[in-house]
Amino acid sequence: MVNKKIVLAALLVIAAVFMCGCTSDGGTDTPTATTVAPTETTPVATPEFLKIATTTSLDNTGLLEDLKDRFEKDHDVTLQIIAAGTGKALEYGERGDVDVLMVHDRAREDLFMDNGYGINRRVFAYNYFMIVGPESDPAGIAGMTPEDAFVTIMEQAQTNPDVVMVSRGDSSGTHAKEKAIWASAGYDYDTEVVGSGEWYVEGGQGMGATLQMANEFQAYTVSDSGTYLAYKGDIDLVPVVDEGDVLLNIYGAMMINPEKYSYVNSEMAKEWINFLITPETQQVIAEFGVEEYGQPLFFPSLGNYEILGVSQEEAESPIP
């Protein structure tokens, strides 16, 4: 009899869990009731959700969580943040699986816009990439330009097993920047860098995880300054090279073209992007992390469009 009671209790727990599960998901678990006409033009996206695909750096630092809370306070919407890295985020955008992209790879963003997938890009923040590595700097690259540093790391690694480099290896914005530096240093990335030896490790993970991995290996890696600062307390890598024009890291937000995918939540997407470039939000971005890390993780784009090399409109004009 005791056992029957146990089973009964288990079933009650199950039933209770089912009920809280249903309420906490706001009824979105009954898609069959809301989706009737399976045509391309039927707006099936639940209006109170806004799906944002983002680079891992914006998410791993906690900035996006902060902005999300502020935005949701004033808007009747739930932001669903999918932290994926720029490459994956662009793929989600091209497939029409999200409403907004927040990424950092100008070249691929431009292509995305030119192909008609993205519209209304606004630049909302920037910081810098840096090459971080062990304090002992086994390759001796401190003070070099990013390109010279890469060449030196590769040369030193041939003879010195302590010289290791961890790459994101995940077609993220940071990975794209790393490839750009290799190209600018005169290497063909796919044939001369990838698979060139044990010194080059492709981690295949987000920025935070890659920093952790580089720390375990006491290796060099390319990081955006924001994520590095956010992780600085847990790792003992230091910035070795942090100067050079090529290291500028610009974050852009754009909405998915509703002419391409009519079901996207373009009204709220517009609200969100405009929210990002308001002076108030720009102030929040400028101050984010200062208290905890002693310096800002991101710089606001407001007033800095010349540094970023973009038009004033792209940095400051709200989407009409």
Partner 1 sequence: MYEIVEGFLTAIHLIVTFDPDVYEVAFRSIYITLSATLIASIISIPIALFLAFRTFPGKRTIINLVHTLYALPTVLIGLVVFLMLSRQGPFGFLGLLFSPTAMIIGQTILVIPIIIGLTYSALVAMDPVIKDTIISLGANYFQFMASILKEIRFVVYATVAMAFGRAISEVGAAIIIGGNIRGYTRVLTTSIALETSMGNIEFSMALGIILLFIALVVNFVMTSIRREAD
Could you give the CA distance from residue 121 to residue 135 in angstroms, rounded to a whole number? 39
Task: Find the binding residues for partner 1 in span 236-295 (CB under 8 A).
Answer: 261, 263
Question: Applying CB under 8 A, which of residues 14, 107, 290, 307 lies at the interface with partner 1?
Answer: 14
Task: Determine contact, residues 55/103, Cβ cutoff 8 Å.
Answer: yes
Q: How far is the CB of 147 from partner 1 (least distance, A)?
A: 30
Binding residue (CB under 8 A) for partner 1 from 7, 73, 76, 291: 7
Q: Residue 217's CB: how many other CB atoms inside 10 A?
A: 15
Please, what is the minimum distance in Å from the beta carbon of residue 137 to partner 1?
23
The minimum distance between CB 82 and partner 1, in angstroms, equals 4
80 is an interface residue for partner 1 by CB under 8 A? yes
Looking at 8, 28, 188, 311, which residue binds partner 1 (CB under 8 A)?
28
Nearer to partner 1, 231 or 275 (CB): 231
- Find the shortest distance in angstroms from Cβ 57 to partner 1: 12
Alpha carbons 171 and 132: distance in angstroms, whole number: 19
Minimum Å distance from CB 29 to partner 1?
5
The answer to whether 119 contacts partner 1 (rule: CB under 8 A) is: no
Q: Which of 50, 63, 77, 84 binds partner 1 (CB under 8 A)?
A: 84
**Closer by beta carbon to partner 1, 31 or else 195:** 31
Question: Does residue 38 bind partner 1 (CB under 8 A)?
Answer: yes
State both tokens at 236: 């003992």
Applying CB under 8 A, which part among 42-50, 109-117, 268-276, 306-314 lies near partner 1? 42-50
Give the 3-state DSSP-derived string for 159-215, with helices as H, strands as E and coil as C: HCCCCCEEECCCCCHHHHHHHHHHHHCCCCHHHHHCCCCCCEEECCCCHHHHHHHHH
Footprint of partner 1 (CB under 8 A): 3-4, 6-7, 10, 14, 17-18, 20-21, 24-25, 28-29, 31, 35, 38-40, 42, 44-46, 51, 60, 65, 78, 80-84, 95-98, 205-206, 208-209, 212, 231, 234, 261, 263
